[in-house]
Structure 1
Amino acid sequence: MPSFIFQSDQLQRLDEAALLGLLKVADERTLLEDWAPLIHELPAVHERFVERFCAYCEAFQLISKFEEMGFLAADGVWLDSFYGQWIVAKMWSLQGQVDRAVDVYRDLLSEAPQVSFRLELEAARIGHKAGAFEFAFQTLSLAAQHAADYGQLQQAARLHARLERTADFPDLPVVRVALMLASAPQLIVPILRVMGFAYGLKLEVFLPDFDNVEQAIYGEQSPLFEFQPQVVILGSNYRCLDWDGSLKQPAAWATEQAQLIQQHWQVLSGKFNCRILQHTFDLPPYDAYGHLAGSLLAGRFRQLHALNSELVKSCPSYASIVDVTVIQARQGTQQWGDDRLWQVARQHPAPAAIPALVSEYIAILRAYGGQTKKVLVLDLDNTLWGGIVGEEGIAGIQVGLESPAAEAFHAFQEVLLQMKQRGVLLTVCSKNNESDAKRPFVEHDGMLLGLDDFVAFKANWESKDVNLQAIADELNLGLDSFVFVDDNPAERQLIREQLPEVTVVELPEEPAKYVATLLAGRWFEALVVSDEDHMRTQTYRQEQGREFARQAAPSLEGYLSGLKMRAQSGAFDLQRLERIAQLIQRTNQFNLTTRRHSLEFLRAMIDAPSYWTRWFSLSDRFGDHGITALVIVKIEGHVWTIDTLLMSCRVIGRGFEDYILNEVVAAALQAGAVRVEGHFVATAKNAQVADFYTDRQFSRNSEGEFSIAPDLYLPVRSVIL
């Protein structure tokens, strides 16, 4: 081969495919003398080249020679480029020096120009080998989130299983899930567990014996009783339905089939007070009646649509619909099912569709586990509109319906407005002059969003991590409830590094894909949408008025007194139950036990004599906060035990918690209780209430339980009326 081909300026003009072709014919001398000194200078070197180059070098047993030549050293030239660093990390691991490899992988992950499943999984594997288990779990979580298909998730699931066997699992909320499917679940379970882990949940999964779902639900000795599921997933498919009955009584068939499923809901809810995730029925790819299957009374398509409609209409508040027809449409019917796999192994859906189905489960489970995000932080230039307003002016930016580019930003704003209307808080974090940044909202006819749609607006030249932290402080919300959207990869990387609690959306270059990318993350999934959600932006804007009043007040006591706060309270009732359930699922900071009681369990408390329940709302001269706190007390004889005491972060610092505790102890005293007990269950988010009881006259015993005799309790003075 001519030697000129290995000159740097020649190689720099080749793409990766050409470089790989040359690499195939390289010998030991060529790898050592020609390739090694140039790798860090080649712009076309990417993942495939890294993999192939390291494989060839291992085959030729050259890695120790590269070490002798200084290429793997801390000051070696390979560390001058990202992919050169990756080669160093791989070679250290191939040499068995996994500790050194982990150090390089740490740097790589912080400098990666884009997300890479291969890099993240590779780093997790080496972390596992090195015993760096925290690093391994962290990088495995990233890999599972970024996996592109079933094959990649399988790889992540296998490593997840190995880590579980050999390392202490991270302290994550545990959710017990019963997977009750009419198909074989074996391929689904490992994907479900690794994706749950990736999004902060430890899932314990129960499987009934095959084709034995009804026995597990109704049997008196069912092992489901021992498992005590918090969530039950019920799923069947069109192949399992009684189609003979559809032909005999087509008018009543869909209703009768739905009633059988509704009985499952009632029995499961009555036995376990669990959340139910109910599949709709998918559609067959073809039908013998062709297009008539959608119009004939007994046609399968028409009957399946009717059955799904019955399930949706009758779905109780303790259940969530998993609309598999939507997932099937996204995947494509041919990718959704595999007739041969069904006939051989009762596998459904096809493996390629499993990640999409499990993603739907995980979105609802995250909402159930209280992991719904609250705040969307938005850049402006090339994010809410096309162009840079500070340079191009109002006339130069693109948003509206006048062109495809403008329409993409219009569509994005349309979705953002819908998110705001359902309770997501919108904020701005932009590097801009504030006056320039606000002009489009006032002057451009194509804008759908207005300044009043945002609860915080930071447009300046401060670093974005500083501004984002300031927004969190203003809203009194944890950074883990924030989602950051910015078209600039450098700004996204900055937030990942400086504020790792914040979720960063990997926005694509094409604005037409912004909507799908944001919504696919399912960060703001909720089990219910309440009246308080619709008013959330207005509520937080009222908070700004309170903050101005606080700054103007001569003292905190004067500020609180000047708010003229009034509280209302009452026992749990059906009218307010959805808001109560939402508070239980979403409140993390001021939550003494973080018990995620199900909606059905809360419903059972309404008339239960063994429970005393109260919701609390708070209003002041600036507006009404709505229901922002609640208490659940379990009554056993003359002992009142506070099972749940929580309060929205919006009203922290008002003395509301003292008003609430005064009410609880007064009610206990009136009921003849001799002792009020409380518990504190520590989580990663509720440290601020660790001393709640000891700061309020309760004594603590050796087992960590708190108690007080209600007649000895001295009510805390409160300015709340």
Structure 2
Amino acid sequence: MPLSPPPLRRRRWTTSRSSGGSRRWCGWPRTPGSAWWPSFRPRPRRIPSRTGSFPDPWPWFCKKEKTKSGKIRQFRFHFLLMLNEFLTDLFKGQTGKALSLLESRPVEQPVPPDVITMLRLAILQRDLNFLTCQRLHNLWTRWGRPALKPNATPRKVLLLSDFTADNFVPLVTLFCAAQGVEAEVILPGFDSIEQTVLDPTSSLYRARPDIVILFFSDHWLRRYTGNAALVRHSDLEQAQETLSNLVREIESNSPADILVGNLPGRAYPLPAGTVAVKDRMGWNLAVTRFNDWLARRSSTRVHVVDLAEAVFGAGGRQAVGATNFLRARMAYETSGTLSTARELGSGIAHICGKTHRALVSDWDNTLWGGEVAEVGSFGVECGQESPDALGYYMVQEYLKSLQPLGILLAGISRNDPAVSRIFDDNPEMALKLDDFSSLQIGWNPKSESVARVSKELGFGPEFMVFLDDSLYEIAEVLTSHPYMDAVLAGPDSQSTLARLTRMRLFNAVSLSEEDLKRSSRALKLREQRELQSSFGNIEDFLKAIQVRLNVSPLNVNNLERVVQMFQKTNQFNLTTRRHREDDLKQLEKRGGNVFAFSYEDTFGSQGLISIVNLVPEDDAVFIESWLMSCRVLNRTVEQAIFSFIVQKAKGKRVRGEFIPTEKNGLVRNLYPGLGFRNISRDEPTGTEYWVYDGPGPGSEPPKHFTTIQES
């Protein structure tokens, strides 16, 4: 059985006496001739410094060298070494030491992907202190504030609070950037929530923000309930009514999404917190009831972020502003500020569709203790019999609990495919084989396995989290997929569970019906892939599964999912217009139509998979937006949808646009493949304009094997 390479040794610089005291590169991870030894020894670049010049330990992201046959070979070996050292410091909790590697590197433009990877992974770490966050923000600014995820979504965010929140502006901006949102945070005057919301000429309505955050402390609630240990029911209801009126006013006068934070506990607790007598209740019970009422107030545009959990994770009462409130009217201490800012950034990212959709996990020493190939299915540690086994069982339980949230699970293991039987053979496993939406078991590099998982699940690695117990494997994957996020497992199950939960990578502020069914639908797709391999050609397979599309206009039943798809879909998206509810309603008022397509075959339903916006013109029909889920690609669904568009055109021409982005190269040739002809191209933006005049002489409309039914 091939062995995985041991962890790379840390690189170092030493002084050679034989060379007169000059510095030389040492610490290669293998001896010459081994599989992991590089076939070339690069000549380091030299950069100026105050003490002269010295070899630059930071070569380019990829080295290229021509072989004797003339082919270009790319070497990522240096990035692998450097990233291994960075990750070692980062996951040991030595974030400051890891950042020193970046701070010593000269700025380059465009920003190399390895810098983006290291900045983003450092921001996502949970054990950051305030000074480290300042260093990260300064580093990010020094490199020109690059997008840390591809196809970043710009959003204007207005933060309304009843306390001093100036220190939240750079932190929320930083945490949003790490998740693919370019946030411009606006902060109105101090403690002016009611005045700002109720004044039609205030900055809230002049700035036209995309997201409004209502950020309260317990002092706001005490304005209505007083400082007594017991709270009157009528006073609590008055506070709830006030907040309802504020939210209603924003909804009526602004198209922005609203993010409301729930309330944490007090810095100085009151006695009798859970007492309930007649028309009064204890303070803790009042806060609990207020938060429960607030959670039930959430809707398509109103989302509740769990700041109480963020404060609890940052130390509970120690994170609430006991000292800072007295000195500067700040609601949180530094630990609480960091934790709540991260939670707000996570909520903003979720509204923008920039959430993690899959966890790609290693198996050995990650989901269980030990290696199956050595100890067998019943020799691994997992179950209820020992503390270590129980810890790994809890890791599996946590991964299984993510599935109802729409988080898919993929398995990657450098092993014989037969080891997958462990999930059926060993009854102590919390996970079963059907819990995995994609399986890649074999001896290929894990970066190749991640690429296959991405293709099967229908979205890019930037929406995935990689979990592995080997720093080498994490570094190897990140060299090929620099926008993927990663978590180090081990050295024990408790550390794995702590990192997975505390980093808040799978946080959600709202869920659609599609999210709840995503895992079961992904399993059906896996079964279809297995069935397809038994057919001789794709046409026979498509005829056998009997694909059906149901078309419906925009309505109250599909509105939430339609808006969600506009925020999340990147690859099959011809214009990448991020429409929200108000945008779609305005389009319909102008005479346009929003059509939602749902998919079904013999394996079951895949739910809403495509949206087409059509706008009638004098002599044509304009495809304003066309997006589709990649999980139903290669089934002639797009050809069927186009035949529906031609039918709606009723003999008129069909016009379309292609606006290129970092992610939608998949559909660059969609229009010419459907018979469109190019009429012009806007050079500054790259936007292409296409028109379909109908099938030409001797040609036929695009062929498909799909039945379409309009409701």
TM-score (norm 2): 0.81
Q: Does 1:95 align with 2:77?
A: no
The answer to whether the Cα contact below 8 Å between 2:120 and 2:148 also exists between their aligned partners in 1 is: no
User: Among 338, 350, 355, which residue is 1:355 paired with?
Assistant: 338
User: Among 635, 660, 670, which residue is 1:654 paired with?
Assistant: 635
> Cα–Cα, structure 1 residues 169 and 403, in superposed 2: closer, same or farther, change >3 Å?
closer
Partner residue in 1 for 2:251: 269
The secondary structure found in structure 1 opposite 2:353 is coil
User: Among 169, 172, 183, which residue is 1:203 paired with?
Assistant: 183
Q: Does 1:441 align with 2:423?
A: yes
Give the 5 Å matches for 1:504-519: 504-519=486-501
Partner residue in 2 for 1:388: 371
The answer to whether the Cα contact below 8 Å between 1:98 and 1:129 also exists between their aligned partners in 2 is: no
Within 1, Cα distance between the matches of 2:688 and 2:169? 38
Encode CA deviations 1:512-531: one digit per residue, 9 max, x unaligned: 23223223333334454334
Partner residue in 2 for 1:141: 120
Q: Does 1:523 align with 2:523?
A: no
Within 1, Cα distance between the matches of 2:133 and 2:470? 28
Which residue identity lines up with residue 100 of structure 2 in the other structure?
E
Within 1, Cα distance between the matches of 2:150 and 2:449? 31
> Cα–Cα, structure 1 residues 431 and 556, in superposed 2: closer, same or farther, change >3 Å?
closer
Partner residue in 1 for 2:96: 118
Q: How far does residue 99 in structure 1 lie from its aligned partner after superposition?
A: 7.8
Which residue identity lines up with residue 575 of structure 1 in the other structure?
N
Within 1, Cα distance between the matches of 2:145 and 2:459? 36
> Aligned-pair RMSD on alpha carbons?
3.8
Partner residue in 1 for 2:349: 366
Which residue identity lines up with residue 375 of structure 1 in the other structure?
A
Partner residue in 2 for 1:458: 440
The answer to whether the Cα contact below 8 Å between 2:324 and 2:333 also exists between their aligned partners in 1 is: yes
> Cα–Cα, structure 1 residues 694 and 259, in superposed 2: closer, same or farther, change >3 Å?
farther
Within 2, Cα distance between the matches of 1:516 and 1:202? 29
User: Among 321, 324, 339, which residue is 2:322 paired with?
Assistant: 339
Partner residue in 2 for 1:377: 360
Give the 5 Å matches for 1:188-587: 188-243=168-223, 245=225, 250-287=232-269, 289-292=270-273, 294-295=275-276, 297-435=280-418, 437-587=419-569
Which residue identity lines up with residue 114 of structure 1 in the other structure?
T
Partner residue in 2 for 1:597: 579
> Cα–Cα, structure 1 residues 638 and 270, in superposed 2: closer, same or farther, change >3 Å?
farther
The secondary structure found in structure 2 opposite 1:428 is strand
TM-score (norm 1): 0.80
The answer to whether the Cα contact below 8 Å between 2:622 and 2:654 also exists between their aligned partners in 1 is: yes
Q: How far does residue 488 in structure 1 lie from its aligned partner after superposition?
A: 2.7
The secondary structure found in structure 2 opposite 1:371 is coil
Q: How far does residue 649 in structure 1 lie from its aligned partner after superposition?
A: 0.6
User: Among 601, 617, 620, which residue is 2:598 paired with?
Assistant: 617
Instruction: From the two aligned structures, give the one with the greater helix fraction.
Output: 1
Within 2, Cα distance between the matches of 1:98 and 1:376? 42
> Cα–Cα, structure 1 residues 371 and 225, in superposed 2: closer, same or farther, change >3 Å?
same
> Cα–Cα, structure 1 residues 598 and 173, in superposed 2: closer, same or farther, change >3 Å?
same
Within 2, Cα distance between the matches of 1:401 and 1:217? 54
> Cα–Cα, structure 1 residues 568 and 46, in superposed 2: closer, same or farther, change >3 Å?
closer
The answer to whether the Cα contact below 8 Å between 1:71 and 1:78 also exists between their aligned partners in 2 is: no
After TM superposition, the structure 1 stretch with the greater mean CA deviation from structure 2, 486-495 or 637-646, is 637-646
Within 1, Cα distance between the matches of 2:529 and 2:82? 40
Q: How far does residue 128 in structure 1 lie from its aligned partner after superposition?
A: 4.6
Taking CA–CA contacts closer than 8 Å with sequence separation of 6 or more, which of the two structures ends up with the larger relative contact order? 2
User: Among 639, 658, 663, which residue is 1:680 paired with?
Assistant: 658
The secondary structure found in structure 1 opposite 2:440 is strand
Partner residue in 2 for 1:27: none
Q: How far does residue 356 in structure 1 lie from its aligned partner after superposition?
A: 0.8
Query: How many corresponding residue pairs?
Result: 650
Which residue identity lines up with residue 95 of structure 1 in the other structure?
T
Percent identity for Structure 1 against Structure 2: 24
The secondary structure found in structure 1 opposite 2:141 is helix
Q: How far does residue 686 in structure 1 lie from its aligned partner after superposition?
A: 0.8
Within 2, Cα distance between the matches of 1:136 and 1:394? 41
Instruction: From the two aligned structures, give the one with the greater strand fraction.
Output: 2
Q: How far does residue 97 in structure 1 lie from its aligned partner after superposition?
A: 4.4
Which residue identity lines up with residue 347 of structure 1 in the other structure?
M
User: Among 693, 699, 704, which residue is 1:718 paired with?
Assistant: 704
The secondary structure found in structure 2 opposite 1:277 is strand
Instruction: Give the unaligned 5+ runs of structure 1.
Output: 1-44, 55-62, 82-87
After TM superposition, the structure 1 stretch with the greater mean CA deviation from structure 2, 140-149 or 126-135, is 126-135
Within 1, Cα distance between the matches of 2:211 and 2:160? 10
The answer to whether the Cα contact below 8 Å between 2:393 and 2:429 also exists between their aligned partners in 1 is: yes
Q: How far does residue 616 in structure 1 lie from its aligned partner after superposition?
A: 0.5
The structure with the largest alpha-carbon Rg is 1
After TM superposition, the structure 1 stretch with the greater mean CA deviation from structure 2, 552-561 or 310-319, is 552-561
Q: How far does residue 658 in structure 1 lie from its aligned partner after superposition?
A: 2.4
Partner residue in 1 for 2:63: none
